[in-house]
């Protein structure tokens, strides 16, 4: 059974319940409006469970512990994008390598566009919220609560926790800032908070936090449209 047929069946069931209540006794206006609103929002799936929320937190701390106890993983991944010998092991008088992607303007432009995606999405959410606030008809078709939750999560997560706290006080230098890859700072493992970086540091990644927030926006999209929206959104998020 297709998702559209399931949605139609659910709406039909709500309509039958509304008709039966009308037969038993005319419902109040607020009750009828509530049931109609529920019928219109059947295309949105239920919110993620608390179990999923804690599972994601456990997965995040597991990854952090892995990179903390095995810092060579970080170095190996960075080395895959580094051309030439590592600077820390280069012989005297021999020029060490570099990150070629940092010198390509096209990749700089792509990175900048991907960096702006969460903010563009946030602006669209604000516009949708304002439209819903001033139009009762449109408000009944919009997931207003989820729009509000999305904005709050952006402000608390990527905004406050990541960019205002962790990136400011972690002290972890970016790969190109370390003496392994041409910089002048010592490499530090993820989660140590003992690095010498003083501004816009590496832990945690602002782009990665924004990408994770973008993936959560799938819950704002009707279920029957996620098949088309999910692939480009996942590609954009994983390349940030």
Q: Give the tens place of pLDDT for each residue, 91-127.
A: 556 678 888 888 888 888 888 888 888 889 999 999 9
Q: Which residues of 205-223 are buried (b: 16+ CB within 10 A; e: fewer)?
A: bbbebbbbbbebbebbbbb
Quote the pLDDT of residue 210: 85
pTM over 0.95: no
State yes or no: pLDDT of 27 exceeds 60: no
Please tell me which residue, 44 or 76, carries the higher pLDDT value. 76
pLDDT at 42: 47
Largest Cα–Cα separation, the chain: 92
Three-state DSSP class for residue 98: strand
What pLDDT, on the 0 to 100 scale, is given for residue 32?
Answer: 45
Under the banding of pLDDT at 50, 70 and 90, the label for residue 66 is very high
CB atoms within 10 A of CB 187: 19
Model confidence at 28: pLDDT above 50: no
d(CA 39, CA 175): 52
Rounded Cα distance between 152 and 167, Å, is: 19
| Portion of the chain with pLDDT greater than 90, in percent | 8
Position 48 pLDDT exceeds 80: no
């Amino acid at each position: 059974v297709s998702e559209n047929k399931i949605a139609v069946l659910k709406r039909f069931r709500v309509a039958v319940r509304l008709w039966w209540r009308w037969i038993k006794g005319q419902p109040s206006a607020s009750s009828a409006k509530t049931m109609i609103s529920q019928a219109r929002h059947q295309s949105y799936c239920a919110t993620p469970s608390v179990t999923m929320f804690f599972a994601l937190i456990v997965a995040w701390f597991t990854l952090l512990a892995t990179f903390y106890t095995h810092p060579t993983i970080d170095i190996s991944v960075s080395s895959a994008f580094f051309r030439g010998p590592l600077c820390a092991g280069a012989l005297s008088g021999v020029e060490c390598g570099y990150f070629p992607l940092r010198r390509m303007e096209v990749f700089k432009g792509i990175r900048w566009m991907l960096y702006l995606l969460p903010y563009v999405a946030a602006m669209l959410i604000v516009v949708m919220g304002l439209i819903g606030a001033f139009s009762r008809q449109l408000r009944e078709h919009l997931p207003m609560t989820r729009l509000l939750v999305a904005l709050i999560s952006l402000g608390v997560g990527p905004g406050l926790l990541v960019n205002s706290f962790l990136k400011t006080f972690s002290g972890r230098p970016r790969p190109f800032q370390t003496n392994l890859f041409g910089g002048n700072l010592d490499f530090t493992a993820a989660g140590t908070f003992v690095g010498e970086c003083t501004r816009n540091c590496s832990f945690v990644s602002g782009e990665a936090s924004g990408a994770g927030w973008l993936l959560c926006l799938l819950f704002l999209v009707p279920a029957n449209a996620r098949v088309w929206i999910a692939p480009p959104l996942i590609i954009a998020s994983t390349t940030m």
